[in-house]
A and B are shown apart, each in its own frame.
Chain A
Amino acid sequence: MTAPLLEVEDLHVEFRTRDGVAKVLNGVGYQVNAGETLAVLGESGSGKSVTAQTIMGILDTPPAFVTKGAIRFNGEDLLAASADRRRDVRGDGIAMIFQDALSALNPVFTVGFQIEEQLRVRRGMTRKEARARAIELLDLVKIPNAKNRVGEYPHQFSGGMRQRAMIAMSLALDPEMLIADEPTTALDVTVQAQIMDLLREIQTERDMGLILITHDLGVVADVADRIAVMYAGRIVEHADVYQLFRAPGHPYTESLLESLPRLDLKGQELKTIKGLPPSLTNIPSGCPFHPRCPRAVDVCKTEVPANHRLGLDRTSACHFAEEVVSRG
């Protein structure tokens, strides 16, 4: 068996703020292989974006501090690497696209310039070569009339086109791995479908590893190979996409699936998850989900559940994981 492309191991990150220490990541671990899509699913504040930013090395320190863990890319521990080495990995090794393309792109430079910049600095291309490559890249992400649009500014692009331009930018240095942080959340559904198709196509063509960060269970079901469900800075369930939707192994996943209005079902009763996601400065004792969990008992309040194995490549951080999964 080959080593995974990216391996995150027991990652702990805290934010030291004036109001106290927020434990944002509390032992996150996952792996991504080449050509594979891992969906990281979670609600706001669950730590899914912070994990991605830690992998990219773009967290602001302070307030963020990595207190424990390792991130191995092609076997090399990035957290131990020098700043220069990390810079080399960014873009070449791992690239990232963001949710809000309008604020991720610089409004005072043309789209072309922003793509060409990395080619000139990192690949030593001349302006002319870089321009030609930028047009190729815009063509690749299906921006119509790329030749003329390369000289336009981000505000002249529509929302979907900006997201395409950002994908083009992330592909400029041929990364082995792409992290997409809520790439379609700000887009309309017809445009979302176009962008997801594009990502899928590019990934297959280049055999890239893809981490898709999202809160949309529909998108996950459509494109993911495996899913990591995050809650309060932990991965509470990790499973193959088919297994997870057929029989969720953690009460949180189970409740999420039940609380979702479905397009293809009508008149269903929506079950709700009572209460609120926990505050990260004050994470509940024991299992962080216990105050909202329908099946919580005393042990959940006192003991942090370990990752129970539920089969090959499947874990659940619940004391009653076997019971939950067998109900599905």
Chain B
Amino acid sequence: MAEPILEVTDLVKHFPVRVGVLFKRTIGHVKAVDGVSFTLNKGETLGVVGESGCGKSTLAQVLMRLEPPTSGGAKFEGRDMFAMRGAELRKLRRDIQIVLQDPYTSLNPRMTVGDIIGEPFEIHTDVAPKGSRRRKVQDLLDTVGLNPEHIHRYPHQFSGGQRQRIGIARALALRPKVIVCDEPVSALDVSIQAQVMNLLGELQSDLGLSYVFIAHDLSVVRHLSDRVAVMYLGKIVETGTEDQIYERPTHPYTQALLSAVPVPDPTQRGTRDVIRLTGDVPSPINPPSGCHFRTRCWKAQDICATEEPELVVRAGDHPSACHFAEERSVV
């Protein structure tokens, strides 16, 4: 039986929009994350996909406790994450780590690789006593496939893919249980992307890690995820196993998203079922009433404007937030 490690319920993060210089008035809220619930099981990868502005990175920041949530809760190993203080919070910070998107700006250019990867040990001294740190850092470099001799080099002496490995080593330093990967491969070239994806896969099976894998590239998410959540304007619109989402999507947005991904096979030209969405993603400050997707949806009817569809099983075998959910294979 799968054992949940992270349970998120109805998580909301709104950012106020303020105007004025001296007397700031709040004129609205950016509803970045607007009621997201999911469960992450031990040793599992949950893929979170969506277009820019759908709230996937804000979700990562709230899960890291870098931003306090507006409302909602999350339990890590059964205990309320957002109520933790002091020693318990410090332990949580060890257990959940993050790998960031841009390997160029997420490493301090004035620190050596050894200092970057070893810095977590300064705070969490119990993980590695002073004398053993250098060896630990070298072990970590070795784990992520870098030369342990390069401990004294600076980030600029490494390529993009190597830097992303440094970021992964830093995340691994405190032996976390969950790693939030926020677009870890999207800044990398194709030939390097595969290397880093394989590394993430190996580390997961060797160390029993759980991943929240955030990306906009649906092919990458499919490759690494056990379960997938599709986000649109701060909400999860469809969730299911990798198979359910990719082979039997029921939400129109998921279907459109999947059909828009070009498949690297010219013989499929013109044979694929292509759904073209019109327009852009609406502003998260003032999202459409009812179903957020209705303004771009070809199935939209009156009910979509008045009633927000719940994320429940309607058609097929997995939850989908659409009044007219219907299976349609598009891949």
> A interface vs B, CB < 8 Å?
43-44, 144, 158-161, 188-194, 196-197, 215-222, 224, 241-242, 245-246, 255-257, 259-264, 266, 268, 270-273, 276-277
Residues from chain B with a CB closer than 8 A to the CB of A270 are 194, 197-198, 223
Chain B residues positioned under 8 Å from A277 (CB to CB): 189, 191
Most chain A beta carbons < 10 A, residue from B194, B257, B277:
B194
A193 to B220, CA, bound (A): 18
B265 partner residues in chain A, CB cutoff 8 A: 221, 245, 264
- Beta-carbon contact of A43 and B243 below 8 Å: no
Within 8 A of A (CB), among B250-265: 256-258, 260-265
14 examples of A-B residue contacts, CB within 8 angstroms: A43-B189, A144-B279, A159-B52, A159-B280, A190-B257, A192-B260, A193-B262, A194-B277, A216-B262, A221-B268, A257-B264, A263-B258, A272-B198, A276-B162
Whether A272 and B194, one on each chain, are in contact in the complex, defined by CB atoms closer than 8 angstroms, is yes
Chain B residue nearest in CB terms to A244: B266
Is B246 interfacial (CB 8 A cutoff)? Answer: yes
Contact (Cβ within 8 A) A259 B243: no
> B269, A266: Cβ atoms under 8 Å?
no
Residues of chain B within 8 A (CB-CB) of A215 are 189-190
Tell me how many residues of B have a C-beta within 8 Å of chain A: 45
Q: In the assembled complex, how far is the CB of residue A159 from the closest CB belonging to chain B, in whole angstroms?
A: 8
Min distance, Cβ B242 to any Cβ of chain A, angstroms: 7
Q: Give the residues in chain B near A272, CB-CB below 8 Å.
A: 191, 194-195, 198
Check if A263 sits within 8 Å of B276, measured CB to CB: no
Q: Which of A158, A192, A217 lies in contact with B264, CB distance below 8 A?
A: A217
Say whether chain B's binding surface is mostly helix, strand, loop, or mixed: helix
Interface bits B46-75 vs A (CB < 8 Å: 1, else 0): 000001100000000000000000000000
**Which residues of A lie under 8 Å from residue B223 when comparing CB positions?**
261, 266, 268, 270
Q: Give the chain A neighbours of B242 by CB distance below 8 A.
A: 266
Verify A273–B194 contact, CB threshold 8 A.
Answer: yes
Whether B264 lies near A242 (C-beta < 8 A) is no
Q: Which residue of B lies closest to A144 (CB)?
A: B279
Within the complex, what minimum Cβ distance (angstroms) separates A45 from chain B? 9
The number of inter-chain residue pairs (CB within 8 angstroms) is 128
A242, B267: Cβ atoms closer than 8 Å: yes
Flag if B189 contacts A245 (CB, 8 Å).
no
Q: A241 → chain B, closest Cβ, in Å?
A: 5
Question: Do the beta carbons of B260 and A262 come within 8 Å of each other?
Answer: no
Cβ contact of A259, chosen from B162, B193, B256, B276, cutoff 8 A: B193
Tell whether B159 is near chain A: CB-to-CB under 8 Å. Answer: yes
Inter-subunit contact B190/A43 (CB<8 Å) = yes
Asked if A264 and B197 make an inter-chain contact with CB atoms under 8 angstroms apart, the answer reads: no
Residue from the list B191, B195, B219, B256 in contact with A262, Cβ < 8 A:
B219
Selected contact of A245 from candidates B162, B222, B264, B280, CB within 8 Å: B264
Top 5 A-B pairs ranked by shortest CB distance?
Answer: A218-B262, A259-B194, A188-B51, A261-B223, A273-B191
Contact partners of B257 in chain A: CB under 8 A: 189-190
A-side contacts of B280, CB under 8 Å:
158-161, 191
- Asked whether A263 and B267 contact (CB < 8 A) given A215-B190, A217-B190, A256-B190, the answer is no
Q: Given the interface contacts A255-B191, A272-B198, does A264 sit within 8 Å of B161 by beta carbon?
A: no
Measured in the bound complex, the distance between the Cα atoms of B23 and A134 in whole Å is 42
**Bound complex: CA A197 to CA B256 (Å):** 15
Are B263's CB and A218's CB within 8 A?
Answer: yes
Question: For B217, what are the chain A residues with a Cβ–Cβ distance below 8 Å?
Answer: 261
A264/B192 contact (C-beta < 8 A), A192-B260, A218-B263 known? no
Question: Is the C-beta of B313 less than 8 angstroms from some C-beta in chain A?
Answer: no
Q: Which residues of A contact B311 (CB under 8 A)?
A: none
Which of chain A's residues have a CB closer than 8 A to the CB of B136?
none
Contact at A219–B161, with CB atoms within 8 Å? no
- The residue of chain B having its C-beta at the shortest distance from the C-beta of A217 within the complex is B264
Contact between chains at A189 and B261 (CB < 8 Å): yes
B269 touches A276 (CB 8 A): no
- CB of A44 within 8 A of CB of B189, answer yes
**In contact, A266 and B192 (Cβ under 8 angstroms):** no
Our pick among B220, B268, B269 for the contact of A261 (Cβ within 8 Å) is: B220
Q: Say whether A189 contacts B276, CB under 8 Å.
A: no
Cβ 8 A contact of B261, one of A160, A260, A263: A263
Q: Does B331 contact A (CB under 8 A)?
A: yes
**In the bound complex, CA of A190 to CA of B269 (Å):** 17
Chain B residues closer than 8 Å to A196, beta-carbon distance: 262
